[in-house]
């Protein structure tokens, strides 16, 4: 059982310069271990957490030694516990988390009559970034109109979260309209150093959004996790993680004139993807660091999921402290941060000699070599330099369908489609831009690119350039601070003139909330098979994510978004071709509207001021009129409304018996879907808008919801009925059954009918048939992970056979009772001659005691084929989700367990989970028995 902290002897007072003390801290230098000074700063944060939380039960002295000896232990993939300082939720994932907490509270109340025990033990910041659907774009009143519409659509969801803020303690809820979660975290929520009852320690955070990593630019260790892990952490449980390797990324030199932070991040993303950083930390260092603003660093850190790293970390230095003061943190707070980090040797002072740190591998980039660029047309790491864009675009038209191809016949590539837009003749070609969006997710934390975009707009307006009226333009800042400095600079008027009105402060185009394209434009695209383009400043441009009708989607800096909107096409060479004609008929080129770095720096210096940040974030404590007027019920138990289409009690405990179903294989299952490589969780998990012809739309219509009120899958993430229908509903899903056709359909094998995936799954279930999924490599990579496992479980999927799995998704599949199997090396469905039309039997031992981790399992088909797979119950490595959830429920009712209890055995965790049909069922059964 837990004991006193064995490192109590290094608890040291941190004294103030003028007398007294800031508090006490666990001093790393007091350990007198020379290995510590060579550790990467990011690893030191893990070390401090292990020392501070060491109780020889959840965190042990041997875990501390593993981290200190990181240089030798990290290549061995050893496991350590980590207890982050706080948890960050956005409303998309916060709603399911609060739903689960409410269900847990109901279960506790029903079983034990004590529902008040469930409260987050770790501070939880929940930001309602309110996911603005860009229905109103080209309007001066766009913000107010969209906000009113969002409250009208999401009143129930917002009310549920407001109820949660009252029902659960230690949870801060940031009201809608304050900003996007990542930027609010950076500008306001990030503590850098905590002072909890006089104990000082580094801020660290796990969040339910993959781009939680933006906070790494502030020197706060943070990354995205699944909702189940976040809930476990909320309730004080350690995360189990593999001690990561750390890539040292050295930066030299300075960015050239005209090169933006976005150009830098797209370059870094491509380099790191090529290097291979999945599961690793990336830590930036070198003399070039002093040339990067904090906002530049945050832009790079935000893109960690796109280059595949757990986080891209920037240690705290003087630039960090300057940013903290700029954003309204008090002088006393900044003094504490600097004093603590210097005392614990976690601060970088480039004016002092640098200790040479050890990294797992090394990369180097001279900032002077970075060129203007964009990425696309379908992935964030497919970088294209601006000077090569036109050639690359024509290659994409030629190439076969894929990440860099559309297979447009040569004779059709120059096609011109005539249509009428609101009574005016118009034309559309391949590559024409129909959406141009400066989005909130990545770049709007960066004043240099935001004000740079505004300067481009100013120059363009003065020269007489205009944006075609059918291009859907929008500006969604990450926080209200952006509005303040754009208005103070006098530059917002020029963005407005070009149609880039502020539409709101939340997720927009990057998550698919781009709203409808004008009907005339939509018809011109669909009826003529035009490859239309979107240009956005976000970080996600996966096919089908931005808008169903934009097959080409490019990531670009905010100034480039404006430039491409003016050009009206991505089929342009900015060096040699004019963007358009000025008011005097003169050709205007890219160089005529592009501001110099000095121009941008001058505007930033004059207009980005501390009081703007302080004024903006007063709203977090004061709320806003619409939020404050929300009426929510009192009480700790939530009153579930069975008619609600937003909040629904999930069916995890429906028809559950006290006896677990036991280990079970799969008999005569049909294949629901037959996939190739790179099926991401964006393909699987419901995301973006709800298509008018989808099963989810049908469900809503049947319940009296008008099409204009469908909202997004994210907004309805608290309703399992909607989410099940939205699973595998991505319009760019490639299913081998469809013989080249793309879309969310599949074949019902017994009848040969083509049905939606949901309808086919329900037919199989009604007929009493189990289903499986065949897949290629990297199945389940990406974010939005929870519903990528929950959804298939609700559809009746019993197993997934793939070439390889993304780590967290594999664990989540097991967590939902789905068997993960891997083809043997060199084999896949194609090499084995599987069409997917067979029926599949997977024999497993009848007792979990006979199942071994990683054992061979034979799969037999009804046409006589058989092949051997590897069973991916990876129980040699502790499955933190299972362990944490069990500990949560047990701790809540104060049951005592022995450390050698079978439930804590790492060799039994996933198997016990599978034996019970899922983690929640397992926990409830053990809770009742106890």
**Per-residue pLDDT reduced to its tens digit, 28-41:** 999 999 999 999 99
Which 3 state secondary structure label does DSSP give 296?
A: helix
Residue with the bigger pLDDT between 887 and 629: it is: 629
Asked if pLDDT for residue 888 goes beyond 50, the answer is: no
**pLDDT computed for residue 904 by the predictor:** 30
Structure tokens at 381: 């790491």
Residue whose token pair is 């303690």 = 169
- What is the pLDDT averaged over residues 165-182? 88
- What residues does 819 pair with on adjacent strands? 799
Q: Please, what is the Cα angle at 293 between 292 and 299, to 5 degrees?
A: 90
Average pLDDT taken over every residue of the chain: 87
pLDDT at 616: 85
Rounded to the nearest 10 degrees, how much is the dihedral formed by the CA atoms of 781, 225, 515, 644? 120
The confidence score (pLDDT) of residue 890 equals 39
Q: Quote the CA–CA distance of 822 and 838 in Å, as a whole number.
A: 18
768: Cβ–Cβ under 8 A, 6 or more apart, which residues?
none
Query: Lowest-pLDDT range, 134-143, 380-389, 787-796?
Result: 134-143
Question: In this predicted structure, which of 571-575, 589-593, 739-743, 877-881 has the lowest mean pLDDT?
Answer: 877-881
Q: What is the pTM of this model?
A: 0.81
More confident residue, 807 or 244: 244
Q: Is the pLDDT of residue 880 over 50?
A: no
Read off the pLDDT of residues 53-66 as tens digits, 9 standing for 90 and up: 999 888 999 999 99
Q: How far apart are CA 223 and CA 302, in angstroms?
A: 10
Residue pLDDT, tens place only, 249-302: 999 999 999 999 889 999 999 999 999 998 899 999 999 999 999 999 999 999
- Tell which wins on pLDDT, 45 or 103: 45
What's the rounded Cα separation, in Å, for the pair 414 and 391?
A: 15
Average pLDDT of 682-698? Answer: 88
Confidence of residue 464 (pLDDT cuts 50, 70, 90): very high
Q: Is 599 exposed, middle or buried (0-12, 13-18, 19+ CB in 10 A)?
A: middle
Give the E-state strand segments of 655-718 in sequence order. Answer: 666-674
pLDDT at 889 over 60: no
* pLDDT category of residue 631 using cuts at 50, 70 and 90: confident
* CB 442, CB 539: distance < 8 Å: yes
CA angle at residue 10 from 8 to 12, to 5 degrees? 105
pLDDT given for residue 137 in this prediction: 65
Segment 516-540, tens digit of pLDDT: 889 999 999 999 999 999 999 987 7
Higher-confidence residue: 922 or 192? 192
Return the half-sphere exposure (C-beta side, CA atoms, 13 A cut-off) of residue 584: 4
Residue by residue, DSSP assigns 577-595 as S-SEE-TTS-EE-HHHHPP
* pLDDT confidence of residue 784: 56
Q: Which CATH number fits domain 416-618: 1.10.3720.10, 3.40.47.10, 3.30.499.10, 2.40.50.140?
A: 3.30.499.10
Rounded to a whole number, what is the largest CA-CA distance in the chain? Answer: 84
Listed residue (873, 869, 867, 868) closest to 850, CA to CA: 873
- Of the chain, the percentage scoring pLDDT greater than 90 comes to 60
Span 737-752, average pLDDT: 94
* H or E element that contains 610: helix 610-622
Grade residue 897 by pLDDT with cuts at 50, 70 and 90. very low
Which backbone phi and psi does 699 adopt, to 5 degrees? -60, -45
Section 480-505 average pLDDT? 93
Please tell me the predicted confidence (pLDDT) of residue 895.
32
> pLDDT tier at 355 (50, 70, 90 boundaries)?
confident
| Domain coordinates in residue numbering, the chain | 416-618, 666-894+905-929
The answer to whether residues 232 and 344 touch, using CB atoms and an 8 Å cutoff, is: no
Q: Give the least confident one: 36-50, 126-140, 713-727.
A: 126-140
Chain centre distance of CA 244: 20
pLDDT at 929: 57
Mean pLDDT of 581-597: 94
What would the CATH number be for the domain defined by 666-894+905-929?
Answer: 3.20.19.10
Which pLDDT score is estimated for 90? 85
- The pLDDT value recorded for residue 662 is 65
Q: Averaging pLDDT over each range in 346-355, 681-690, 711-720, which range is the top one?
A: 346-355
Residue where the block lists tokens 């342009």: 572
145-163 pLDDT, tens digit per residue, is: 777 877 888 888 899 999 9
pLDDT (mean) for 500-529 = 85
Please report which confidence band the pLDDT of residue 209 belongs to, taking 50, 70 and 90 as the band edges: confident
Q: What is the pLDDT of residue 924?
A: 59
Q: Mean pLDDT, to the nearest integer, of 793-812?
A: 89
- What pairs with residue 439 in β-bridges? none
Across the range 97-109, mean pLDDT stands at 77
Share of residues in the chain with pLDDT > 70 (%): 88
For helices 880-892 and 227-234, give the axis angle rounded to 10 degrees: 40
Q: Which region holds residue 523: left if phi is over 0, alpha if psi is between -120 and 50, else beta? A: alpha
Please state the rounded mean pLDDT for residues 777-798. 86
Average pLDDT over residues 824-846: 93
């Amino acid at each position: 059982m837990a004991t006193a902290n064995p490192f109590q002897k290094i608890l040291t007072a941190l004294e103030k310069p003028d007398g007294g003390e800031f508090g006490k801290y666990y001093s790393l230098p007091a350990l007198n271990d020379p290995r510590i000074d060579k550790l990467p700063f990011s690893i030191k944060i893990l070390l401090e957490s292990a020392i501070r939380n060491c109780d020889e039960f959840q965190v042990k002295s041997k875990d501390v030694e593993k981290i200190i000896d990181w240089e030798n232990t990290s290549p061995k993939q050893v496991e350590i516990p980590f207890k982050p300082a706080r948890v960050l939720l956005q409303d998309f994932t916060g709603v399911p988390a609060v739903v689960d907490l409410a269900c847990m509270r109901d279960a506790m109340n029903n079983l034990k009559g004590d529902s008040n025990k469930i409260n987050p033990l770790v501070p939880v910041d929940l930001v309602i970034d309110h996911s603005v659907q860009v229905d109103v774009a080209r309007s001066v009143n766009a913000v107010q109109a969209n906000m009113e519409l969002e409250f009208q659509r999401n009143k129930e969801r917002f009310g549920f979260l407001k109820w949660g803020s009252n029902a659960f303690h230690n949870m801060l809820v940031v009201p809608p309209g304050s900003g996007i979660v990542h930027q609010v975290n950076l500008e306001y929520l990030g503590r850098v150093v905590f002072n909890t009852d006089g104990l000082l320690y580094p801020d660290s955070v796990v969040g339910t959004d993959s781009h939680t990593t933006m906070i790494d630019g502030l020197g706060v260790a943070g990354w995205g996790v699944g909702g189940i892990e976040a809930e476990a952490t909320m309730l004080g449980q350690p995360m189990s993680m593999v001690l990561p390797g750390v890539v040292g990324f050295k930066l030299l030199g300075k960015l050239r004139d005209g090169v933006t932070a976005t150009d830098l991040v797209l370059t870094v993303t491509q380099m790191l993807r090529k290097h291979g950083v999945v599961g690793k930390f990336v830590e930036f260092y070198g003399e070039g660091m002093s040339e990067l603003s904090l906002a530049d660093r945050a832009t790079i850190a935000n893109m960690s999921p796109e280059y595949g790293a757990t986080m891209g970390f920037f240690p705290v230095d003087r630039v960090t402290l300057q940013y903290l003061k700029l954003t309204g943190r008090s002088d006393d707070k900044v003094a504490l941060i600097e004093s603590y980090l210097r005392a614990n040797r976690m601060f970088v002072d480039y004016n002092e000699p640098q200790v040479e740190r050890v990294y797992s591998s090394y990369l180097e980039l001279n900032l002077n070599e970075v060129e203007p660029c964009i990425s696309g047309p379908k992935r964030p790491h497919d970088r294209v330099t601006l000077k090569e864009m036109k050639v690359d675009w024509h290659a994409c038209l030629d190439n076969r369908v894929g990440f860099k191809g559309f297979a447009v016949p040569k004779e059709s590539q120059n096609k011109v489609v005539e249509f009428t837009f609101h009574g005016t003749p118009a034309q559309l070609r391949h590559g024409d831009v129909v959406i141009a969006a400066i989005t909130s997710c990545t770049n709007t934390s960066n004043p240099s690119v935001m004000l740079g975009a505004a300067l481009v707009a100013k120059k363009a307006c003065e020269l007489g350039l205009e944006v075609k009226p059918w291009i859907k333009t929008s500006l969604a800042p990450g926080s209200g601070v952006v509005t303040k400095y754009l208005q103070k600079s006098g530059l917002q008027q020029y963005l407005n003139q070009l149609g880039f009105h502020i539409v709101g402060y939340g997720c927009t185009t990057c998550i698919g909330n781009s709203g409808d394209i004008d009907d005339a434009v939509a018809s011109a695209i669909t009826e003529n098979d035009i490859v239309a383009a979107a240009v956005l400043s976000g970080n996600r441009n996966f096919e089908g994510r931005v808008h169903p009708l934009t097959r080409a989607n490019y990531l670009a800096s905010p100034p480039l978004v404006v430039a491409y909107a003016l050009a009206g096409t991505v089929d342009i060479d900015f060096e040699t071709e004019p963007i358009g004609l000025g008011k005097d008929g003169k050709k205007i080129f890219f160089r005529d509207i592009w501001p110099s770095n000095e121009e941008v720096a001058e505007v930033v210096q004059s207009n980005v001021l501390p009081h703007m940040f302080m004024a903006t974030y007063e709203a977090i404590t004061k709320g806003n009129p619409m939020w404050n007027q929300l009426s929510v019920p009192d009480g700790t138990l939530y009153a579930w409304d069975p008619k609600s289409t937003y909040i629904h009690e999930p069916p995890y405990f429906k028809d559950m018996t006290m006896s677990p179903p036991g280990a079970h294989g799969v008999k005569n299952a049909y294949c629901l879907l037959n996939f190739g490589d790179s099926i991401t969780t964006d393909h699987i998990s419901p995301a973006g808008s709800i298509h008018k012809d989808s099963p989810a739309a049908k469900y809503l219509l049947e319940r009296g919801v008008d099409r204009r009120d469908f909202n997004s899958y994210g907004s309805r993430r608290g309703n399992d009925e909607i989410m099940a229908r939205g699973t595998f509903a991505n319009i760019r899903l490639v299913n081998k059954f469809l013989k080249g056709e793309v879309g969310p359909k599949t074949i019902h094998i017994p009848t040969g009918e083509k049905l939606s995936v949901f309808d086919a799954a329900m037919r199989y279930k009604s007929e009493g048939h189990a289903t499986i999924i065949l897949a290629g490599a990297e199945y389940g990579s990406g974010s939005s992970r929870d519903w990528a496992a929950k959804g298939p479980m609700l559809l009746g999927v019993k197993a997934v056979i793939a070439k390889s799995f993304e780590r967290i998704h594999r664990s989540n599949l097991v967590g939902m009772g789905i068997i993960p199997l891997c083809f043997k090396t060199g084999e896949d469905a194609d090499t084995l001659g599987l069409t997917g039309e067979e029926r599949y039997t997977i024999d497993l031992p009848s007792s979990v005691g006979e199942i071994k981790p990683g054992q061979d399992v034979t799969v037999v088909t009804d046409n006589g084929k058989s092949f051997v797979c590897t069973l991916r119950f990876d129980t040699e490595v502790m499955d933190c989700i299972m362990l944490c959830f069990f500990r949560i429920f047990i701790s809540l009712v104060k049951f005592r367990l022995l450390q050698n209890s079978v439930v804590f055995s790492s060799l039994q965790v996933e198997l016990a989970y599978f034996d019970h049909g899922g983690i929640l069922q397992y926990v409830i059964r053990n809770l009742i028995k106890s």
